[in-house]
Amino acid sequence: MAKEAVHIGQVVRNAVVFNAQRWREGEMNGEPLLRTVQELFALLDERQVSYVLVGGIALLSYVEGRNTEDIDLIMALPSLEKLPEIDIQERDRYFVRGRFKGLQIDVLLTENPLFRLVQERYTTEQTFLERAIPTATVEGLLLLKLYALPSLYRQGDFLRVGIYENDIAALMYAYQPDTEKPLQTLSAYLSENDLSSLKQIVAEIEERIQRFRQGKAGSTE
C-alpha cells in the first residue's frame, strides 16, 4: 500500500501544539502555521529558489516518525538572499537559522561540499499534501545524518544523538540500503577517527535490526 502523502503544515502544527514547553510559554495556537507553510513553499517557487527539503519532514516522506517544528532546507547562500522575508537569527559558515512568520527555518548552506553533493546527486521529487517538493533521497538523508553524528557526540548532545541514530535505524530497517556506499562517500568529508566511529555505529544498528527481524520471525512461528 502506498504511503499517504505527508501534510507538512499539520506536522509542524502538531509539534507546536503538543510541545509542553510551549504550554508554559502560552504559545499553543499552531493554526496560523498551516497557512505559513503554504506561503513559504509558494514563495520558494515564486522566487525560483533552488532548494532541497531535508530533516524531519523529509524523513516523514519515507518512514513513520516524530513531529518536527521546523523546516530544514539545503540552499546556496545566493538563493537564501532572494528571501529577505526570512529573519536570520543565527548564522555560521555552513548553517543559518531564521524565522518566517513564526516558522523556524534551518538552512544547510551548499558552501559545505557534502551539502552541495546531496543537493546535486541525492535529490528526488516527493509529493506532499501541499505540493511536490524537491526532497533528499533515502541515501541523501543517511549521508546527512551520519555526517552529523560525530559532531553531536563531541558536543555531548545525548538527545540529538539518540534522535539521529533512531532516524538512521528507521531508514535502514525500511529500505535495507547498502551502508558501505554512504560510508565510502563520507570518507572524503570526515577524519579517519570519525569514519571509524561511524562504521561501528552502523554495525551496531545493523546488529540491532537483525535481532529484531529474528525476534519478529520467531514470534510468528
Q: What local confidence, expressed as pLDDT, does residue 2 receive?
A: 52
Q: What local confidence, expressed as pLDDT, does residue 30 receive?
A: 61
pLDDT tens digits along 175-190: 999 999 999 999 999 9
- Return averaged pLDDT per consecutive 10 residues of the chain, 221 residues in all: 79 78 51 89 96 96 86 97 96 96 95 98 95 97 97 94 95 96 97 96 96 80 58
Residues 16, 99: contact at Cβ < 8 Å? no
Structural domains of the chain in order of their starting residue, each with its CATH number: 1-136 (3.30.460), 137-221 (no CATH)
CA 113, 115, 116, 117 dihedral sign is positive
- Phi and psi at residue 50, to the nearest 5°: -85, 120
Residues 72, 108: contact at Cβ < 8 Å? yes
Q: What local confidence, expressed as pLDDT, does residue 64 receive?
A: 86
Nearest Cα residue to 84 out of 121, 136, 49, 59: 49
Q: What local confidence, expressed as pLDDT, does residue 221 receive?
A: 58
Q: Is the pTM of this model over 0.75?
A: yes
Q: What local confidence, expressed as pLDDT, does residue 21 receive?
A: 56
